[in-house]
Amino acid sequence: MNGFVKSFVYPFIVSLVIFSILAFAFVRPVLNIVFSDDTNSDSDMGEDDLNNDLSSTGPKSDATGVLSLLLIGTDEIIYNEPENPDSQDPEAVPTPDDPDASASVEDTYGELFDKHAPHPSRTVDFITLISFDSTNARTVITSIPNIAYVSVSGINVDMDTAYYYIENQLNGLDYTFFADYVSCITGMPVDFYAYIDTDDFSASFDEWGSIPVNLDENVVFYDESTFTSTTYNAGSNNIDSKGLYELIKYDGYVGTFTKANLLAAVANFVLEKTATSGYYVNFENHFNENVSKFYNTNVTYEAFSEKLMLYFSYQFYKTNILNVIGDLTTTSDGENRLAINRASTLRYFKQ
């Protein structure tokens, strides 16, 4: 009997134990896959992962097409009333139908307005386009320099004058004007546009505290209300919302694209902060909070939601910060203006 136990029973028990261990090692992963709780399957990606709408490897198939957002920042201008407003001759104000109003680089419609009509009601401080393109897996960010010429009824004007003209001469402001303008020169259709006061735009960055920016040149901003100046050195800077406002309002940039590059970088910073899982799970609240800051927009939650995955696919796309192509000119009063070369810009943006 002892011989039987030693020769058969012991080896059988040992073999059974070894087999059980090996079987459990191979079967357990299979059981985990079959019976696992779906809500915990991506726990290693963080509980705020985009509710599994975006995977760790890239956007889902429903993140297709193009989504383009245009943000226009403006600021109200307060002018002193003329001593004798009745002395202004309304007949002297040129109109697009007036052949004498045809303008050249030296004699723009904007300059004629300055001579004969009230000043613009707002400055156009920035125009920034963000476009998400699933076909090319890229995000394009461009900011149009606010010294660029805008064509109004075939006449070149500066952006402030364009805003004044479409606000006062077209029986109310046509808010689609700048969206059509940017689409024309970049070849990118604009889905949504939003107008925001520059101070409200800057203040919205308070929640993030410090904003990393890179300046192409030194900036000394003089605050006329406090008679103080602030210096921002070329290179890397960490600024707050007040600093952002000052850099947007500064009008002494030497480089044609210094301000445009700054605003494009700021837009990229916003995407890095918001195109994330944390914003996704509370997107509707964030959306309503931000849209309330716009004083005019065609953005609705229902329409934006249809292309929502394109926005959150930003993290999987390459980002291209592009500038329009044009020639810098100088007006008769010494102000710089950028005449955009539409054909060259269209080719550049399609690359």
Judged by DSSP in three states, 257 sits in coil
327 plus 215 within the same structural domain = yes
User: Is 51 part of any domain?
Assistant: no
Q: Which of 40-44, 110-114, 253-257 has the lowest mean pLDDT?
A: 40-44
Of the candidates 99, 109, 151, 144, the residue with the CA atom closest to the CA atom of residue 261? 144
SS3 call for 155: strand
Whether 29 and 143 share a structural domain:
no
Question: At 107, is the pLDDT very low, low, confident or very high (cuts 50, 70, 90)?
Answer: very low
Residue 7: inside a domain, yes or no?
yes
Q: Is residue 73 part of a domain?
A: yes
**SS3 sequence, 195-217?**
EEEHHHHHHHHHHHCCEEEEECC
Residue ranges of alpha helices (H) inside 119-274 are 159-168, 177-186, 198-203, 241-249, 258-274
Cα–chain-centroid distance for residue 147? 19
CA distances from 35 to 27, 30, 31 (A): 12, 9, 6
131 and 256 belong to one structural domain: yes
In a domain, 311, yes or no: yes
Domain count, the chain: 2
In a shared domain, residues 202 and 283: yes
Taking every pair of Cα atoms in the chain, the longest distance, rounded to a whole number of angstroms, is: 129
CATH classification of the domain holding 196: 3.40.630.190
* Alpha-carbon gap, residue 297 to 71, rounded angstroms: 9
pLDDT in tens, 61-93: 456 789 999 999 999 876 544 444 444 444 433
The residue among 62 and 254 whose pLDDT is bigger is: 254
Give per-residue pLDDT as tens, 302-313: 999 888 899 999
pLDDT tens-digit readout, 318-347? 999 999 999 999 888 888 899 999 999 999
pLDDT of residue 78: 62
Asked if 325 and 255 sit in the same domain, the reply is yes
Where residue 271 falls among pLDDT bands split at 50, 70, 90?
very high
Is the same domain home to 283 and 204? Answer: yes
Give the structural domain span for 251.
66-350
Position 266 scores a pLDDT of: 95
